[in-house]
Amino acid sequence: MIKYVLFFVAFRFLVASVNTTYHEGSSRCNELLTFARSSGIESARNIYCLEAVREDQRLTLQTLRKYKLGFLFNNVTYAYTSEVLDSACKAPWYVTEVLEWTAGVTTLSLLWTIVQIATWLWSKRPKPKIKPVTPPASPSRPPMVRPPKAPKKNTSQGIRQRKDEKTLINNLSKLANLSPKLRNRIMGEDV
């Protein structure tokens, strides 16, 4: 993209330079046209117009040769005196239009180039090193579907009760295997 912009800017600069050089040397041609406009005699006006056309052609050829563009020269002639008075010693209308429409292109392309260079330099700057966040260590057990149950209180009384229940059941099973007389003696006769 930048090569097209630079080519366009260079082309516009060349056209502007040729046009400026042409206008700097057109004082003699403009003087002849002024004499032709102010002349009241038709034959004198025709001679001034003829000289203005010759000066215009000489100036155009000289300007183009200065920029090594002599191959662009054409031998323009005008059919009427009014055409000479309107069009001689001026750059063609399309050159003037192009220069007017592209007047700020050099400044804008220079600004655009500076922005592109600044963007490139900004992307090449050293960036601060960011430490990646490490996730917490995974548990040895897989994740649970529901929250864990609250731990049971280990009270000595609760453990002792369970032991007493177990021993009671064991004792009762032993008593069931005893003879009825022995059981009555141990437990008493009421039971």
pLDDT tens-digit map of 85-95: 888 888 888 88
Q: How far is CA 178 from CA 78, 167, 185, 187, in A?
A: 150, 17, 11, 11
Token pair 């009555």 is found at 184
- Give the model's pLDDT for residue 68: 84
Spatial separation of the C-alpha atoms in residues 87 and 163, rounded to whole Å: 126
Phi, psi of 132 (to 5 degrees): -70, 145
Q: Which pTM does this prediction carry? A: 0.53
**What integer is the mean pLDDT of 103-126?**
87
pLDDT of residue 156: 57
- Asked whether residue 186 carries a pLDDT value surpassing 70, the answer given is yes
Do the beta carbons of residue 25 and residue 57 sit within 8 Å?
Answer: no
